[in-house]
């Protein structure tokens, strides 16, 4: 499921290979998906083509599906596991001096063309003060880092905000089509509201709001979606061909090692303010 010869920093989804694997399925079984697995991308992109849901202005976005395990490159987009952090830098702390916990990171190296002006750094770390309660915006911290730092060789597992995964991002260039929202709402397709604006982990595009948008004038950077693999299809992870069931263990998508769910299948939205600061918001069902 990984494209050969890609020049991107991230491993890139071989969408043509995904189409060959999944297109034998009946179209009536396709539905709008919270995107985690290659099948989710195929389903959304296929339904967009079938129902003409690429109308109006498209807002390019780099969408991520996931492999399970540590990233082939430490600095790439990932959730959980060992962060990209310089070996000669002290680990960040909160205002009282307690260490923060690593949740995820986004690498913008393949996505610079999505933003009108240069960003403050290349890799953005999402850090939290409390691994048990971090979805409130004021409990999340952010660190920009440049590329080509000498990364740490060891990371204390107690400073990981989640023990799930880890999961690494595999990139797929797509776009959001908010002008298709009305057309999609008329379809009799489960998850139709996920079709115009991609619902998952992505850089760029527009936010996939769950409870309605806000009036912020800040620049949207990225969205970290809940991670839950597609079940009973090949390649729930790009590096795992064997399908997963609905069990609550390692054999199923609900197992602790196979999912990270924010609230009720929620998403974290990250913005760049005019003064260069980073802010976030959270919504769930």
* Closest by CA position to 72, among listed 159, 144, 6: 6
- Compute the average pLDDT of residues 132-160: 90
b/e burial code for range 157-195 (CB count within 10 A of at least 16 → b): eeebbbebbbbbbbbbbbbbbbebeebbeebebebbbbb
Split at pLDDT 50, 70, 90, the class of 25 is: low
Task: Kindly state the percentage of the chain with pLDDT values over 70.
Answer: 98
Split at pLDDT 50, 70, 90, the class of 134 is: confident
Give pLDDT, residue 215.
67
Domain extents in the chain: 15-283
Residue 240 in this model has a pLDDT that exceeds 70 = yes
- Give φ, ψ of 185 to 5 degrees: -65, -20
Split at pLDDT 50, 70, 90, the class of 138 is: confident
- Compute the average pLDDT of residues 264-279: 94
Give pLDDT, residue 212.
84
84-123 pLDDT tens trace: 999 999 999 999 999 999 999 999 999 999 999 999 999 9
190-229 pLDDT tens trace: 999 999 999 999 999 999 999 987 767 899 999 999 999 9
* Closest by CA position to 256, among listed 228, 279, 282: 228
Q: Are 195 and 47 in contact (CB under 8 A)?
A: yes
Query: CATH classification of 15-283 is 2.30.320, yes or no?
Result: yes
Split at pLDDT 50, 70, 90, the class of 137 is: confident
Beta strands in 40-113, from DSSP E residues, in sequence order: 59-68, 78-79, 101-107
Q: Are 35 and 225 in contact (CB under 8 A)?
A: yes
**Torsion sign (Cα): 257, 20, 187, 212:** positive
Give pLDDT, residue 47.
94
Task: Kindly state the percentage of the chain with pLDDT values over 90.
Answer: 87
**E strand or H helix at 228:** strand 227-228
32-60 pLDDT tens trace: 989 999 999 999 999 999 999 999 999 99
Q: Cα–Cα distance between 123 and 85 in angstroms, integer?
A: 10
């Amino acid at each position: 499921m990984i494209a050969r010869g890609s020049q991107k920093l991230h491993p890139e989804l071989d969408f043509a290979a995904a189409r060959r694997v999944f297109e034998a399925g009946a179209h009536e079984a396709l539905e709008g998906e919270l995107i985690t697995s290659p099948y989710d991308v195929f389903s959304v992109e296929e339904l967009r083509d079938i129902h003409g849901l690429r109308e109006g202005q498209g807002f390019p976005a780099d969408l991520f599906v996931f492999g399970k395990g540590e990233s082939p490159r430490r600095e790439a987009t990932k959730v959980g596991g060992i962060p990209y952090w310089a070996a000669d830098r002290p680990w960040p702390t909160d205002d009282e001096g307690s260490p923060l916990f690593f949740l995820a990171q986004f690498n913008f190296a393949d996505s610079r063309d999505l933003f009108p002006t240069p960003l403050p750094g290349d890799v953005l770390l999402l850090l939290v003060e409390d691994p048990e309660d971090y979805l409130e915006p004021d409990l999340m911290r952010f660190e920009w880092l440049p590329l080509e730092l000498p990364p740490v060789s060891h990371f204390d597992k107690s400073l990981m905000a989640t023990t799930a995964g880890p999961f690494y991002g595999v990139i797929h260039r797509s776009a959001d089509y908010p002008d298709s929202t009305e057309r999609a709402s008329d379809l009799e397709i489960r998850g139709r509201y996920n079709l115009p604006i991609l619902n998952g982990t992505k850089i760029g595009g527009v936010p996939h709001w769950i409870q309605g948008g806000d009036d912020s004038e800040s620049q949207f950077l990225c969205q970290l979606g809940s991670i839950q693999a597609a079940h009973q299809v090949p390649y729930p992870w790009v590096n795992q061909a064997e399908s997963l069931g609905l069990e609550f263990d390692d054999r199923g998508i609900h197992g602790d090692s196979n999912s990270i769910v924010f609230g009720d299948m929620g998403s974290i939205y990250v913005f760049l303010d005019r003064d260069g600061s980073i802010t976030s918001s959270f919504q769930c069902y």
